[in-house]
Amino acid sequence: MIEVPAELSRLEEFTGAARRFAASAGLPERRLNDIELAVEEIFVNICEHGPDGVVVRLECLDDGDTLVFEISDDAPAFDPLARPDPDLDAPLEEREIGGLGIFLVKKLMDDARYERRGSRNALRLVVRKRPVAGSGRD
């Protein structure tokens, strides 16, 4: 577990912890990059949109078949997954600003779930150790 203030200066420390954990489980480089990018997106969003003084925690779990990266914070309740996916077919000038990062997280991870636990937001990112046939993930 790592717990740091939601400050961009702590980004490398935070994402590095997730990457090292995934590497220790033997995931291939491509999946390490996916995990690092997803964790970075969530951390940066918390830094940019959360109030001052927020503390972000990363807990990593290897349950045998999957790796779980739980990112939690003590900011006001906010479910980043509740926002509808952007319409990538709409003309650029008609698209809403934002939302692409969370969309990317949902695409890179095998599962992503949010819940509010007491005074904390908790986002669970799940990565299967072995890709599902036809998923394109290796």
- Specify the amino acid at residue 111: D
CATH code that applies to domain 2-128: 3.30.565.10
The pLDDT tens digits for 83-123 are 876 666 656 666 566 557 898 999 999 999 999 999 999 99
Residue-wise DSSP of 36-87: HHHHHHHHHHHHHHSPTT-EEEEEEEE-SSEEEEEEEE-SSP--GGGSPPP-
Residues shown for the chain: 138
Q: Scanning the structure block, which residue is given the tokens 């995934």?
A: 22
Token duo for residue 44: 């940066």
Q: Scanning the structure block, which residue is given the tokens 């997803």?
A: 38
Instruction: Give me the chain's average pLDDT, please.
Output: 89
Domain ranges of the chain: 2-128
pTM: 0.87
The pLDDT tens digits for 36-54 are 999 999 999 999 999 999 9
